[in-house]
Amino acid sequence: MIVSETERLRIRAWKEADRDLFFEINNDAEVMAFFPHRRNREETDALFDRVGQGIAETGLGFFAVALKKDDRPIGFCGLAYTDLEPHLPKGTVEIGWRLAAPFWGKGYITEAASDLLRYGFDEKGLREIVSFAVPDNTRSTAVMARLGMHRDPARDFNHPRIPADKPQLVRHVLYAITRAEWQAQRAKDVA
CATH number at residue 145: 3.40.630.30
Asked whether residue 139 carries a pLDDT value surpassing 80, the answer given is yes
Helices (H), 90-155: 108-118, 138-146
Answer whether 32's CB lies under 8 Å from 23's CB: no
pLDDT digits (tens, 9 = 90+) for 34-44: 999 999 999 99
How many domains does one find in the chain? 1
Which of 180, 190, 31 minimizes the C-alpha distance to 117?
180
Domain that holds residue 176: 2-190
- pLDDT tens-place string over residues 86-131: 999 999 999 999 999 999 999 999 999 999 999 999 999 999 999 9
Q: Look up the pTM and report it.
A: 0.94
